[in-house]
Each structure stands twice: as C-alpha cells, then as structure tokens.
Amino acid sequence: MDDMTWDYILKFVIVGDAAVGKSCLLIRLTDDRFAASEPTLGVEFGSRLVSTTVGGQAKRVKVQCWDTAGTESFRSITRSYFRGAAGALLVYDVTRRETFEHATSWLSDLRTHADENVSIILVANKTDLCATEPTVLPQIQFGEAVYVMPEPAPEAGTPAPEQDATDSSAESGSKSTATPSGNISPPAKNDSAAPGRKLVPRAVSTLEGALFAKQHNLLYVETSAKEGWGVIDAFEQTARQILERVERGEFERRKPAGVNLAENKTKGGCC
C-alpha cells in the first residue's frame, strides 16, 4: 500500500498490564515482525496505514499508535496519553489470568481519562502459546437470553457431559463453532502441535473474553503478536467502528481529538 495518502488519521493507544505483549503488538503493526522488546519506559509511538470498509467504501486509515508502559510507576504518564485517543487496544495475556482480571481497572482508567467516544477493543494476546492455529471466533449469540456461560469443570471421576461451551479443550484455544442457539459445538482436537512446541493451557477462554467484551461494550479479538495472528484485524475492526460512528454523525457536535476527519490528505498534511 503506498504510504502517501490516507482518508483519516486515527490516534490509538495500547494499554494493559506489563508483559502482555503491547510493544510486540505495536512492532507487529508497524514492521510486521516479532521482536523481543525491552520493557517500555513511558510511551512509544508507531504508525501504519490500514484499510477498512465503511458503508461499502474502502477507506485508508493512518493509525498513529501510542504504546504505553503497563507498570504502576508509569501509570500516571500512561493516562495522560489517553486523552484524544479515538481507539484503544486493551490487552491481556491468555495464559495469565490476573492480566485479564486487571482489564476492569484498565477499562476504568480509559473511561475516566480518554475521550468519551473512544472505541475500545479487548485483545486476548499470546494465543500461540495455547494453539497451533489462530482461533476461529465462534458466532456467539448474546441477544435475547442466549448467553452461554462457562460452567465449572466436572469433578475428577465424574463422567464428562456432552461437549458444549464447557468443553475443556475450548479453554485450550482449539477451534470451535457455534450453533444459532449460541451453543458451541465440540472443538476440533488440536493434535497437530508443531514438533518441539509445548502448548500451555489457556487461563481465559474465548467465551469468557468475548462475554466480558460484550458486557462492557467492547470489540473483541484474539491475537498472537508472535505469529502475527489477528493483529492488523484488531486495528481494522476498531478503525471500522470509529468510522462507522463518524458516518452516523455521532461526532457531529463534538469532534473527537483523535480523529482527523479531513479526507484525501497527503503526507505532510498531518494533524
């Protein structure tokens, strides 16, 4: 994609606990590579053009992304970068449950310090540690009382019930599919782990992440910064939601600082 023109410029921030993979997601976005990064001190910046379709029309979006430090000591600096963001990636590590539990606190920071219109996507990162292929997200039906809540695992020695959303292999990131009623059919067994690659159990299932996102009005994506799974999709999905809201006129009265609405800008005409 030529890097000279774009339709919109959107400011993004990446937030979440330390070591969930925020810097690696940014490097994957900007350079399309995986690099063992140094811990982020304060804030880092990168940008890239992505494309998305809004109202049937292709749009080129320049994503300007600020990667923040997740440690407590930098939290006040981190917050100051929230202002004016049009989009936010709230990242957790699917193998460390506490990073998912802290999403509530990051969300509250975003809601308090970012623009009220900010579009937030919940990013379940490091899925490569639990699966050999990207997760195919089931079409989970949330409307009209068809939530499918995970149930506790059966006691040891108890015969396994018919496989459904509680299937423990769904926890380990195997692919699964959903029926129109919202029940999740048995996932394909993931027997094809690459030789020498040891998979670890997921600490947060797809369903739990997706439910949290739904309950808090967030988008949801599963990624691996290492393998490149879902990373560009995370930015494109969020950009699409922001631009759809722009098209619907939600920003007419109050233009968000993180959206440059001027169309057909060329390089050098940046905000």
Ligand X SMILES: Nc1nc2c(ncn2[C@@H]2O[C@H](COP(=O)(O)OP(=O)(O)O)[C@@H](O)[C@H]2O)c(=O)[nH]1
Binding interface with ligand X (CB under 6 A): 18-24, 36-37, 39-40, 70, 125-126, 128-129, 224-226
Report in angstroms how near the CB of residue 89 gets to ligand X at its nearest.
11
**CB-nearest residue to ligand X:** 21
Based on the shown chain and the rule CB under 5 A, indicate whether residue 40 belongs to the binding site for Mg ion. Answer: yes
Based on the shown chain and the rule CB under 5 A, indicate whether residue 206 belongs to the binding site for Mg ion. Answer: no
* Angle, alpha carbons 60-66-67 (nearest 5°): 125
202 binds, among Mg ion, ligand X, none (CB under 5 to 8 A by kind): none
Q: Which is nearer to Mg ion, 22 or 28 (CB)?
A: 22
Q: Which is nearer to Mg ion, 22 or 126 (CB)?
A: 22
Q: Which is nearer to ligand X, 14 or 85 (CB)?
A: 14
Report in angstroms how near the CB of residue 21 gets to Mg ion at its nearest.
8
Q: What are residue 58's DSSP bridge partners?
A: 53
CA dihedral angle for residue 239, residue 244, residue 246, residue 248, rounded to 10 degrees:
-170
Report in angstroms how near the CB of residue 64 gets to ligand X at its nearest.
18
Q: Which is nearer to ligand X, 37 or 163 (CB)?
A: 37
Query: Pairing mode, if any, of strands 8-16 and 87-93?
Result: parallel
Task: Name the helix (H) or strand (E) containing 10.
Answer: strand 8-16
Report in angstroms how near the CB of residue 229 gets to ligand X at its nearest.
8
Based on the shown chain and the rule CB under 5 A, indicate whether residue 23 belongs to the binding site for Mg ion. Answer: yes
Helix (H/G/I), strand (E/B), else coil: 242? helix
Report in angstroms how near the CB of residue 11 gets to ligand X at its nearest.
18
Label residues 164-191 b or e (16+ Cβ within 10 Å = b). Answer: bbbbebbbbbbbbebeeebbbeebeebe
Q: Which is nearer to ligand X, 95 or 166 (CB)?
A: 95
List, in order, residues 6 or more apart from 33 with CB less than 8 Å away: 27
How far is CA 255 from each of CA 53, 116, 258, rounded to the nearest angstrom? 21, 11, 9
How many Å apart are CA 202 and CA 106, to the nearest integer?
A: 21
Q: How many residues bind Mg ion (CB under 5 A)?
A: 3
87 binds, among Mg ion, ligand X, none (CB under 5 to 8 A by kind): none
3-state secondary structure 62-119: EEEEEEECCCHHHHHHHHHCCCCCCEEEEEEECCCHHHHHCHHHHHHHHHHHCCCCCE
**CB-nearest residue to Mg ion:** 40
Q: Which is nearer to Mg ion, 14 or 140 (CB)?
A: 14
Residue-level length of the chain: 271
Report in angstroms how near the CB of residue 37 gets to Mg ion at its nearest.
6
Interface ranges with Mg ion (CB under 5 A): 22-23, 40
